[in-house]
């Protein structure tokens, strides 16, 4: 049985058509020296390739068509396992 990874920080990212930015954002997270965090992407129903990147990277994600930024943040907060929540955007590095 695999031990469950302890998560102290949950990074919550609402997205909508962020294919131009999401890879650089996810790569910047992967490059961090601290790795005790989960990344949770809540996508509002992107019509570009944003949802594909959720599957390609080691992130948790959900697609909620029509969800706005704050609804996405709230859903991410409810699903997060970390004791600390960090809300950010996909175009932030």
**Token digits for 30?**
């992967």
pTM (2 d.p.): 0.88
Contacts of residue 90, defined as CB under 8 A and 6 or more positions apart, other chains included, come to: 13, 15, 18, 21, 22, 25, 41, 50
Model pLDDT, residue 5: 63
**Token digits for 52?**
């594909």
- CA neighbor of 79 nearest in space, from 25, 42, 54: 42
Q: For 24-37, write each residue's pLDDT tens digit.
A: 999 999 999 998 89
**Token digits for 88?**
């950010």
Question: How many angstroms separate the CA atoms of 19 and 13, rounded?
Answer: 13
Low-confidence ranges of the chain (pLDDT < 70): 1-6
């Amino acid at each position: 049985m695999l031990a469950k990874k302890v998560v102290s920080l949950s990074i919550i990212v609402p997205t909508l058509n962020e294919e131009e930015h999401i890879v650089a954002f996810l790569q910047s997270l992967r490059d961090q020296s601290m790795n005790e965090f989960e990344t949770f992407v809540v996508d509002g129903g992107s019509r570009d390739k944003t949802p594909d990147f959720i599957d390609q990277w080691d992130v948790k994600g959900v697609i909620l068509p029509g969800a706005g930024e704050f609804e996405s943040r709230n859903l991410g907060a409810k699903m997060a396992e970390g004791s600390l929540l960090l809300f950010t955007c996909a175009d932030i590095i």
